[in-house]
Amino acid sequence: MTQTLRRPIRIDIAVCTYRRAELDQTLLSLAVLTIPAGVIVRIIVADNDVTPSARDRVDAMRAAVPFEIAYVHCPAANISIARNACLDNAAGDFVAFIDDDETASEDWLAELLVMADTTGADAVLGPVKAIYGNTAPTWMQRGDFHSTLPVRVAGEILTGYTCNVLLRRSAPSLVGRRFNIALGRTGGEDTEFFTHMHNAGGRIAFAEDALVQEPVPEKRATVSWLAKRRFRMGQTHGRMLLEAAAGSRHWRAIALAGTKSAYCFVAAVLLVASPIKRHRYGLRGIMHAGVVSGLFGVREIEQYGTMEKAPQ
């Protein structure tokens, strides 16, 4: 009896980087991943700096990482360019994205792959657990304002993020799809990417045990950083609503977002004695204000770029 041999499953792990020393820890966490039998892993590091500043760092790590590492220089300071470079250089059945300041749990990739195999989904998201320093406000740590989880609408995940995801490259909803260069310095490029993927029939699943961790730098552990991020998120959502809305629907969307924003701000005032609830409502009000801004066609604010990460 002839036994049919199953061909290996090939996975590219994509890491976009821009002047971050934390890249070493990310690569070291990938080096000790539990790899299922029959799976071949390759790592793609996309260096988004003007000069190839991460090349020497990557070369120094090759001996510690048991997988092939492909280094790609893709200037400059635009995360969409780096993400697209990863997609262009991917050759596996799947491509997984992880950020250059995150560390993966040992079972991260295996858990993503199991969920992809079980559900047949085009994209599988995992949770990102924020790790706070001692200087972060107590309410922020207790409320966990920086961790990332998918948002479900009527039980369905309609969009996603690139800080922890596995993509099935052959899926019709993903073939030829790329990140919007115009959003590469503001953020929101991943929200748009996954929303359009879902609208094209792509299914998104969630692997709750596919955990990665992300330290929260002191400069991000502030209300102002959270507020700026929430407002930009709202702008992205509003801009996408604007693309789909026409006539009276446009004005109804503005009225609804404005009402939600006002409600949240009032709730924040009434909950002044409860820091976690106050900030949660206040930040949500800021997000809805961003939706109104996006619906009026205001360009998203730039939150990332040369000032976000200092040279190392």
Q: Which domain holds residue 261?
A: 223-295
Which CATH number is 21's domain given? Answer: 3.90.550.10
Within a domain: 117: yes
Identify whether residues 206 and 274 lie together within a single domain. Answer: no
Identify whether residues 228 and 130 lie together within a single domain. Answer: no
**In contact, 15 and 23? CB cutoff 8 Å:** yes
Identify whether residues 121 and 229 lie together within a single domain. Answer: no
Identify whether residues 257 and 215 lie together within a single domain. Answer: no
Sequence-ordered list of residues with C-beta below 8 angstroms from that of 226, at least 6 positions apart, any chain: 145, 146, 279, 283
> 87-99 b/e with 16+ CB inside 10 Å = b?
bebbebbbbbbbb
Identify whether residues 72 and 158 lie together within a single domain. Answer: yes
Residues 232-246: pLDDT tens digits? 999 999 999 988 876
Identify whether residues 130 and 268 lie together within a single domain. Answer: no
Identify whether residues 216 and 91 lie together within a single domain. Answer: yes
Residues 102-159: pLDDT tens digits? 999 999 999 999 999 999 999 999 999 999 999 999 999 999 999 999 999 999 999 9
Sequence-ordered list of residues with C-beta below 8 angstroms from that of 301, at least 6 positions apart, any chain: 186, 228, 231, 232, 235
Q: State the pLDDT at residue 207.
A: 98
Burial class from Cβ neighbours inside 10 Å (0-12, 13-18, 19+) for residue 310 reads exposed
pLDDT band at 307 (very low <50, low <70, confident <90, very high): very low
> What percent of the chain is helix, strand and coil (3-state, nearest 5)?
40, 20, 40
Structural domain count of the chain: 2
Identify whether residues 278 and 138 lie together within a single domain. Answer: no
Residue 12 phi, psi (nearest 5): -95, 125
- What pTM, to 2 d.p., does this model score? 0.92
